[in-house]
Amino acid sequence: MILVMFGPPGAGKGTQAQLIQKVLGLVQLSTGDMLRAAKNAGTAIGLKAKEAMESGQLVTDEIVVGIIADRISEDDCKNGFILDGFPRTVAQAEALDKMLTEKGLKLSHVIEMEVDDVVIVERVSGRFTCASCNEGYHDSFKPTKVEGTCDECGGTEFIRRPDDNAETVSSRLKAYHEQTAPLLPYYKEQGVLRTVDGMASIDEVSRQINEVLTV
Ligand code: AP5
Ligand code: MG
């Protein structure tokens, strides 16, 4: 199964991809996580991506398409994968279709999480992730069960993203509406678009996604 998690910043793409990964064993491929890792490692790609990420702009199609092309050719992707945050432009979607066709593969579902812009700032400003295993949390909506300890791995260090501030979030939202939302008719036309209510609770969104996946 090949899935695309689709939605604005803070919609819950990463949260739901992690849940699907645990249940179905599909690998989560987050271009945001991969770019942050490249930036932290100081690689050439990371340095090129840094400025765009910090200002809430999109990184170039060439960079992200290259990253995904390499990643989906790895062994752990052969039983399927979840694309989280890719594609984000029509050019990326066309490049993905071409890569999949060349491998004899096809997208199963594009899961759109519909969320109003007004809740986005609240979602991203409360977000933190485990520094060891990358499990995602939220101060109010998904706190750790034991304060200061990761539910998944017991880690005690957490990270907050530098682009999770109100100013950068508004640029990220603008980029979403101008460059990414135009992909919705593209996928509707292909018959793979499934829309769920991203405003609902994490558990309810997960239930709606499971319904899509079992149809
Ligand atoms: P990326 O890391 O993909 O950021 P994003 O799209 O802005 O999305 P987020 O990760 O902020 O949100 P999410 O939907 O994963 O939400 P989450 O599940 O964490 O990209 C970062 C940057 O990298 C981009 O700005 C760009 O520069 C670059 N980039 C990446 N991919 C690119 C590409 N393809 N092309 C070009 N550039 C690219 O949830 C958010 C919070 O809300 C969490 O705390 C969570 O616990 C909570 N939450 C989740 N669901 C719910 C719910 N239903 N109810 C209440 N709280 C919830
Ligand atoms: Mg994410």
pLDDT tens per residue across span 28-55: 999 999 999 999 999 999 999 999 999 9
Q: What integer pLDDT is reported at residue 202 of this predicted model?
A: 97
Q: What integer pLDDT is reported at residue 112 of this predicted model?
A: 98
pLDDT (mean) for 19-24 = 93
Greatest Cα pair distance in the chain:
48
Residue 3 in tokens: 């899935």
| Ligand 1 pocket mutation, candidates 119, 138, 161, criterion most atoms within 8 A of CB | 138
13 is known as an active-site residue? yes
Residues, Cβ < 5 Å to ion ligand 2: 14
Q: pLDDT at residue 25 above 90?
A: no
**192: exposed, middle or buried (C-beta count within 10 Å: 0-12, 13-18, 19+)?**
middle
48 is known as an active-site residue? no
Sign, CA torsion 118/121/126/131: positive
127 is known as an active-site residue? yes
Q: Where are the alpha helices (DSSP H) in 73-201?
A: 90-102, 117-125, 166-175, 183-190
Cα separation, 129 vs 60, in Å, equals: 26
Ligand 1 and 8: CB distance under 6 A: no
pLDDT (mean) for 59-69 = 97
**How far, in Å, is the centroid of ligand 1 from the Cα of 94?**
22
The pTM assigned to this predicted structure is 0.96
Q: What integer pLDDT is reported at residue 166 of this predicted model?
A: 87
Residues 11 and 113: beta-carbon distance below 8 Å: yes
Residue 98: band (very low, low, confident or very high) from pLDDT cuts 50, 70, 90? very high
Ligand 1 and 38: CB distance under 6 A: no
Q: pLDDT at residue 215 above 80?
A: no
